[in-house]
Amino acid sequence: MSHPHPELGAPPALPKDALRVIPLGGLGEVGRNMMVLEHRGKILVIDCGVLFPEEHQPGVDVILPDFTYLKDRLDDIVGVVLTHGHEDHIGGVPYLLKLRNNIPLIGSRLTLAMITAKLKEHRIKPTTIEVVEGDHRDLGPFGCEFIAVNHSIPDGLAVAVRTTAGLLLHTGDFKMDQFPLDKRLTDLPAFARLGAEGVDLFCTDSTNAEVPGFTTAEKDLAPAIETVFRTAPGRVIVSSFASHVHRIQQVLDSAHRNKRKVAFVGRSMVRNMDIARQLGYLDVPRGLVVDVKELAKLPDRKVTLVCTGSQGEPMAALSRMASGDHQIRIGDNDTVLMASSLIPGNETSISRVINGLTRRGADVVHKGNAKVHVSGHASAGELVYCYNLVKPRNVMPVHGEWRHLQANADLAIATGLDPEHVPVVDDGVVVDLQDGQVRVVGKVRAGYVYVSAGNVGGVTEESLRDRVTLSQEGIVTVLALIDIDTGKLVEPPEFLTRGLGADDSLFDDAIPSIEKALAAAASDGVGDPIDLEKRIGRAVTQWAGRKHRRNPLVIPVVVEA
Amino acid sequence: MSHPHPELGAPPALPKDALRVIPLGGLGEVGRNMMVLEHRGKILVIDCGVLFPEEHQPGVDVILPDFTYLKDRLDDIVGVVLTHGHEDHIGGVPYLLKLRNNIPLIGSRLTLAMITAKLKEHRIKPTTIEVVEGDHRDLGPFGCEFIAVNHSIPDGLAVAVRTTAGLLLHTGDFKMDQFPLDKRLTDLPAFARLGAEGVDLFCTDSTNAEVPGFTTAEKDLAPAIETVFRTAPGRVIVSSFASHVHRIQQVLDSAHRNKRKVAFVGRSMVRNMDIARQLGYLDVPRGLVVDVKELAKLPDRKVTLVCTGSQGEPMAALSRMASGDHQIRIGDNDTVLMASSLIPGNETSISRVINGLTRRGADVVHKGNAKVHVSGHASAGELVYCYNLVKPRNVMPVHGEWRHLQANADLAIATGLDPEHVPVVDDGVVVDLQDGQVRVVGKVRAGYVYVSAGNVGGVTEESLRDRVTLSQEGIVTVLALIDIDTGKLVEPPEFLTRGLGADDSLFDDAIPSIEKALAAAASDGVGDPIDLEKRIGRAVTQWAGRKHRRNPLVIPVVVEA
């Protein structure tokens, strides 16, 4: 069961005693996690996140799951369980709530605080159900139980879903740090108890399934962070995810011990740290955190700035400091601590930031040269423990590119599961659980929905292809004044090029091809401007390919004289 | 001396007893390595490579050093020393020889064979001087001595250059593998001897200066490669750089031991392996290598394919196999061995290849999950040995991004050099060596020269910016028929958009802005079409920003009716 199913059609009607599972995002990519559960006519959604675009998706802000499958069934949705507060799990919620704004959101205190703040920017006031680990909630035919898990943001929850078709356990994003800063361990006794009850389908986080061994404990970063604060000759500038409360706690603790003050820089950093502090997830010694303006009055040795931009996002504070485009000017005496991961796909932009900072004289400490980051996801060793502890009937790897899903499946199989019980599937593939066995039964729409300049769905795969052609080949507009009677050019056509890296006059050489095309049109009796535009477009495209091995977008415009 | 020098101007005249060093490429980037040495009116060039473009440089084939500084002094060039046969050291030679085709090329046997094959494609027959380690050659006022170095391609050379201004030692790319397959060690005794003589300026490879410790020996990959060949149930498909003769030797040896046949796939792989075999650098057991068609007749367990595409290059064999666009169809029984590095910037495309292959059922072995690659560059530990062995007066880090150059400088300083003797400089910065001291004295042009569709210099920074805007924002052509007398629109303007992700009709809403701009023009007495186009362009741009927060390229076209 480890292959894509291009041949699949629409799924059959769902039998009454079956549970249907449809990943609408997150399987085949790192991001836009969203799983739809269906049972007895009702729908429960687990997470609704966004995916961040790659460089071949220019001008795209974020990528959403395709909600088409849900559009006619919005009233059947009994709720959206949010496992934790990361963008790739909650970022799509505002767009889903625009379809029906009273869908209940179920999550922990911090998770709900984060989604509520985000929804406020979209002017949506959500219906929320706050839960804590150990809670049970019936949502329609889905009996949900929430289980504490440890991750790179506090207050993460796994969810067990009991139905008459069986018990599903979904880890969300998790790892098994045995010494978490908040002492809130991933609740393995609960996993074991559910295993004893019988887990029919275990959906597990695949992100780090390729990584051997065990993920290092968060607290093991303390020595490297402390060294930075103890030895930095001037300011310390820390970048981190704006949601990594525990990492920032460690930074605050080190700053405090070394008699420095701290200011937060960047909108999302300020907002999230406010939330975390107000709700008691972040412990801030009195007087430690001050305003940036206050900080400017202190000597450099007393200064810590905590800012966004750990992934090299061009508009974030750290990137702008690296390119000299921020009010905070980086110099010889500064130490920059990038206390964050390197998300695949961001390597080039992160390296650009490190080069920019180094060039300005800063000493840059990052995961490549010091132990200042650990992952938030369970490594292979932890996953194997889980499988042996839970002894599930079926395992469905979630959260990851195909290579991660396959590696996770291989781990489950290594613990003794039969490959038939470990479906490796793509977004949109419909998996039914019935009588303790999973079956792939169909496929629904699950493509990318692009948000560009705030506009949902406006950018299509076709316009992205156009954009890539535009960027690689440029564009030429051909303006042709044509005599309506003779079908001939009244004057030489005008060529307007962009991004071509060539003089417009280069195209004058294409005029004979255009004249030939027009003559052929006249002898074919073709005179309609739209048809003439097509012929001119073809003539110029062929000429560019033949003469210059180029393939610019050609926009022919015929004006009748 | 560790900062960029934006304030620098043109360098002064070179004193007779000084040696001038100008890096035209490779300092601040990984690629297009090129160093110009000047002394007593003559010029010696060390390497002339290309840089491969990043995703923000769409449609660019390769990036060259800027040869402007050399253009008026072509006849002063006494030769180009090529340290080894990699593209980032020889790829720019054809473009330099187009300026003067009889510049002598100096290099080892394999290096010259590779550049000669490349020049043949450009229809250039070079003047070559073949040298071997230990050779001395006087090139004008430059007394050159060649020293064996070990790297990820055979036959690499460092070069010592004696002048009346002092002795320069340039490592080229190198590492210090103590058990190289060809038994050709980096000649540390020669380094020591030169050190005793007195090295005034030591230019060293910075690529791996951030990597602690020592680079693993090539031969230590043998167990992992052998395991693949011993245990693969079907075909083994190996990807590697087409120039990594020793890696491919290990693959051939394992294939032979396990009674498999081998075919080479991909033009550069076939060409280079032919050269390496003919010159005796690759030892191929009789009957081992066969044609791809021969191979197709054998059972899968007897098959090895060695192909290009280890960096995820979209047109290379492996990428096309991963996307199902190659005559070799990947399936369940295949094992793919990516026996190659991951060049920074290629992470996303390599991951796309791994996902594609995994999805088709292949088992993919790569440096992330097995010990199947070692770097070709000296790590920090090796560089430190070099500094302590050579005891140079001055060190100038070469080959690397700023972070690598700075890390390398820090290593030299850690061995006792004064920072004043370790210039960290950018491409184009002019460094003079006189009386045993280096001084930064000026700056020359050293920007990127883009080759796009074979056309040198046609693509400029401006057209690349246009391309990026085109890809992120799209383009709209506005066709306005205007009454020459009234300056008013004869009919509603036509809007033609590409890559915008929006209906063309969206722009109808911009017509009032255009009418307003035209009315203002009429009342200002402006009627020239070019001026009207400017005003229309501005009106549409402002409208798009105000109403839609978009910034497409706008091409206004005014036709007089």
Three-state secondary-structure class, residue B244: coil
The pLDDT of residue B3 is 47
Which residues in chain A touch residue B553, judged by CB atoms under 8 angstroms apart?
498
Distance CA B222, CA B201 (A): 38
Categorise residue B526: left if φ over 0, alpha if ψ from -120 to 50, beta otherwise.
beta
Chain A residue nearest residue B500, CA to CA: A463
Q: Kindly report, residue by residue over A359-372, the tens digit of the pLDDT.
A: 999 999 999 889 99
Q: Tell whether A185 is covered by a domain.
A: yes
Three-state secondary-structure class, residue A503: coil
Percent of chain B scored above 90 by pLDDT?
76
Strands B335-338 and B236-239 come out as: parallel
The pLDDT of residue A65 is 97
Is A528 annotated to bind ligand? no
Q: Kindly report, residue by residue over B295-323, the tens digit of the pLDDT.
A: 999 999 999 999 998 888 878 899 999 99
Q: Kindly report, residue by residue over B323-335, the tens digit of the pLDDT.
A: 999 999 999 999 9
For residues B309 and B393, state if they share a domain: no
CB neighbour list of residue A456: distance below 8 Å, 6 or more residues apart: A64, A95, A449, A450
Task: Specify whether the CB–CB gap between A365 and A335 falls below 8 A.
Answer: yes
Greatest Cα pair distance in chain B: 88
Straight-line distance from the first to the last Cα atom of chain B, in angstroms, rounded to the nearest whole number: 65
The type of residue at A430 is V
Helix residue ranges, H only, A329-460: 347-359, 380-390, 402-414
Which residues in chain B touch residue A460, judged by CB atoms under 8 angstroms apart?
501
For residues B147 and B56, state if they share a domain: yes
Averaged over B339-353, what is the pLDDT? 85
Strand-by-strand arrangement of the A236-239 sheet: A261-265, A303-307, A236-239, A335-338, A363-365
The pLDDT of residue A436 is 92
Chain A residue nearest residue B494, CA to CA: A557
pLDDT at A330 over 90: yes
Percent of chain B scored above 70 by pLDDT?
98
Distance CA A541, CA B32 (A): 33
- Count CB-CB contacts under 10 A for residue A478: 23
CB contact under 8 A, A477 and B402: no
Chain B residue nearest residue A472, CA to CA: B59
Alpha carbons within 13 angstroms on the beta-carbon side of residue B84 total: 23
Q: State CA A357 to chain mean position distance.
A: 26
- Residue B1's pLDDT band, with cuts at 50, 70 and 90, is very low
- Count CB-CB contacts under 10 A for residue A492: 12
Of residues B368, B472, B475, nearest to A58 (C-beta): B472
pLDDT at A469 over 90: no
Tokens of A169: 């356990």
DSSP state of B554: E
CA-derived radius of gyration, chain A: 28
* Among B residues 16-45, those touching chain A with beta carbons less than 8 Å apart: 28
For residues B330 and B280, state if they share a domain: yes
pLDDT at B524 over 50: yes
Q: Kindly report, residue by residue over A455-468, the tens digit of the pLDDT.
A: 777 777 777 888 88
The pLDDT of residue B5 is 57
Could you tell me which residue, B237 or B454, shows the higher pLDDT? B237
Which residues in chain A touch residue B367, judged by CB atoms under 8 angstroms apart?
none
How far off is chain B from A56, nearest CA to CA, in Å?
Answer: 8
For residues A283 and A199, state if they share a domain: no
CB neighbour list of residue B507: distance below 8 Å, 6 or more residues apart: B476, B478, B495, B497, B540
* Of A165, A188, A160, residue with least CA distance to A176: A188
* Among B residues 183-212, those touching chain A with beta carbons less than 8 Å apart: 210
Last residue of a domain, one of A423, A456, A489: A456
Chain A residue nearest residue B473, CA to CA: A59
Q: Tell whether A465 is covered by a domain.
A: no
| A530 φ/ψ angles, rounded to the nearest 5 degrees | -65, -40
Helix residue ranges, H only, B91-221: 93-97, 109-121, 188-197
For residues B410 and B505, state if they share a domain: no
For residues A62 and A209, state if they share a domain: yes
Q: Tell whether B232 is covered by a domain.
A: yes
Single out the catalytic residue among B66, B200, B205, B253.
B205
Helix residue ranges, H only, A365-492: 380-390, 402-414, 461-473
- Residue B2's pLDDT band, with cuts at 50, 70 and 90, is very low
Residue of A330, A497, A498, A505 to mutate for B, most B C-beta atoms under 10 A: A498
Q: Tell whether A4 is covered by a domain.
A: no
Q: How far is CA A162 from CA A138, A201, B171, B501, in A?
A: 9, 11, 67, 43
The pLDDT of residue B459 is 77
| CATH number of the domain within which A46 lies | 3.60.15.10
Residue of A466, A536, A547 to mutate for B, most B C-beta atoms under 10 A: A466
pLDDT at B294 over 70: yes
Task: Specify whether the CB–CB gap between B59 and B467 falls below 8 A.
Answer: yes
Three-state secondary-structure class, residue A449: strand
Strand-by-strand arrangement of the A156-163 sheet: A136-139, A142-149, A156-163, A166-170, A201-205, A394-398
Q: What is the mean pLDDT of chain A?
A: 92
Distance CA A123, CA A111 (A): 18
For residues B403 and B292, state if they share a domain: no
Please report the sign of the dihedral spanned by the C-alpha atoms of residue A62, residue A65, residue A70, residue A71: positive
Strands B77-81 and B42-46 come out as: parallel
Residue of B365, B471, B549 to mutate for A, most A C-beta atoms under 10 A: B471
Q: Tell whether B442 is covered by a domain.
A: yes
Could you tell me which residue, A154 or B6, shows the higher pLDDT? A154
Q: Tell whether A1 is covered by a domain.
A: no
What value, to the nearest 5°, has the Cα angle with vertex A375 and ends A264 and A191? 115
Which residues in chain A touch residue B464, judged by CB atoms under 8 angstroms apart?
499, 501
DSSP state of B440: E
Averaged over B542-558, what is the pLDDT? 86
Q: Tell whether A7 is covered by a domain.
A: no
Task: Specify whether the CB–CB gap between A444 and A417 falls below 8 A.
Answer: no
Is A376 annotated to bind ligand? yes
Of A196-205, A536-545, B499-508, the one with minimum mean pLDDT is B499-508
Per DSSP, the residues of A294-309 read: HHHTS-GGGEEEEES-
Averaged over B508-531, what is the pLDDT? 90
The pLDDT of residue A508 is 86
Strand-by-strand arrangement of the B429-434 sheet: B128-130, B105-107, B77-81, B42-46, B34-39, B19-25, B429-434, B437-443
Q: Kindly report, residue by residue over A282-300, the tens digit of the pLDDT.
A: 999 999 999 999 999 999 9
Domain of B140, in residue numbers: 20-214+375-456
Q: How many domains does chain A have?
A: 3
Distance CA B173, CA B156 (A): 8
Could you tell me which residue, A546 or A105, shows the higher pLDDT? A105
For residues A259 and A351, state if they share a domain: yes
The pLDDT of residue B474 is 83
Straight-line distance from the first to the last Cα atom of chain A, in angstroms, rounded to the nearest whole number: 65
Of residues B56, B354, B475, nearest to A498 (C-beta): B475
* Of B399, B337, B396, B342, residue with least CA distance to B372: B337
Strands B494-498 and A34-39 come out as: unpaired
* Among A residues 115-134, those touching chain B with beta carbons less than 8 Å apart: none
Quick one: B189 exposed, middle or buried, by C-beta within 10 A (0-12, 13-18, 19+)?
exposed
Q: Kindly report, residue by residue over B472-498, the tens digit of the pLDDT.
A: 888 888 999 999 888 899 989 988 888
Which residues in chain B touch residue A481, judged by CB atoms under 8 angstroms apart?
559
Q: Kindly report, residue by residue over B414-458, the tens digit of the pLDDT.
A: 999 999 999 999 999 999 999 999 999 999 999 999 887 667 777
Tokens of A428: 């949109």
The type of residue at B479 is L
Last residue of a domain, one of A365, A383, A405: A365
Q: State CA A418 to chain mean position distance.
A: 32
Averaged over B213-241, what is the pLDDT? 95
Task: Specify whether the CB–CB gap between B411 and B387 falls below 8 A.
Answer: yes
Is B366 annotated to bind ligand? no
The pLDDT of residue A4 is 52
Distance CA B164, CA B168 (A): 11
CB contact under 8 A, A2 and B361: yes
Q: Kindly report, residue by residue over A201-252, the tens digit of the pLDDT.
A: 999 999 999 999 999 999 999 999 999 999 999 999 999 998 999 999 999 9
Which residues in chain A touch residue B455, judged by CB atoms under 8 angstroms apart?
501-502, 548
For residues B49 and B165, state if they share a domain: yes
* Among A residues 344-373, those touching chain B with beta carbons less than 8 Å apart: 344-345, 347-348, 351, 354-355, 358-359, 361, 364, 368-369
- Residue A6's pLDDT band, with cuts at 50, 70 and 90, is low
The pLDDT of residue A1 is 43
* Among B residues 209-228, those touching chain A with beta carbons less than 8 Å apart: 210
Per DSSP, the residues of A135-199 read: -EEEETTEEEEEEEEB-SSSSEEEEEEEETTEEEEE--S-B--SS-TT-----HHHHHHHHHH--
The type of residue at A427 is D
For residues B321 and B430, state if they share a domain: no
Q: Kindly report, residue by residue over A417-454, the tens digit of the pLDDT.
A: 999 999 999 999 999 999 999 999 999 999 999 887 66
The pLDDT of residue B214 is 94
DSSP state of A489: B
The type of residue at A453 is A
Last residue of a domain, one of A323, A345, A365: A365
B130: β partners: B107
Q: Tell whether A10 is covered by a domain.
A: no
A148: β partners: A157
For residues B80 and B128, state if they share a domain: yes
The pLDDT of residue B505 is 74
The type of residue at A551 is N
Distance CA A126, CA A176 (A): 32
* Among B residues 277-336, those touching chain A with beta carbons less than 8 Å apart: none
Task: Specify whether the CB–CB gap between B238 and B304 falls below 8 A.
Answer: yes
Distance CA B331, CA B357 (A): 8
How far off is chain A from B2, nearest CA to CA, in Å?
Answer: 8
Strands A34-39 and A19-25 come out as: antiparallel
B177 counts as catalytic: no
How far off is chain B from A559, nearest CA to CA, in Å?
Answer: 8
Averaged over B111-127, what is the pLDDT? 96
Distance CA A244, CA A251 (A): 11
The type of residue at A228 is V
The pLDDT of residue B182 is 94
Averaged over B381-398, what is the pLDDT? 97
The pLDDT of residue A23 is 98
Q: Position of tokens 């396990």? A: B258
What value, to the nearest 5°, has the Cα angle with vertex A274 and ends A269 and A280? 125
Could you tell me which residue, B115 or B463, shows the higher pLDDT? B115
- Residue A148's pLDDT band, with cuts at 50, 70 and 90, is very high
Tokens of A142: 């889905």
B377 counts as catalytic: yes
Helix residue ranges, H only, B372-452: 380-390, 402-414
| CATH number of the domain within which B276 lies | 3.40.50.10710
Q: What is the mean pLDDT of chain B?
A: 92
| CATH number of the domain within which B487 lies | 3.10.20.580
| B497 φ/ψ angles, rounded to the nearest 5 degrees | -115, 155
Of residues A402, A467, A470, nearest to B355 (C-beta): A402
For residues B89 and B104, state if they share a domain: yes
* Of A303, A278, A301, residue with least CA distance to A290: A303
Strand-by-strand arrangement of the B335-338 sheet: B261-265, B303-307, B236-239, B335-338, B363-365
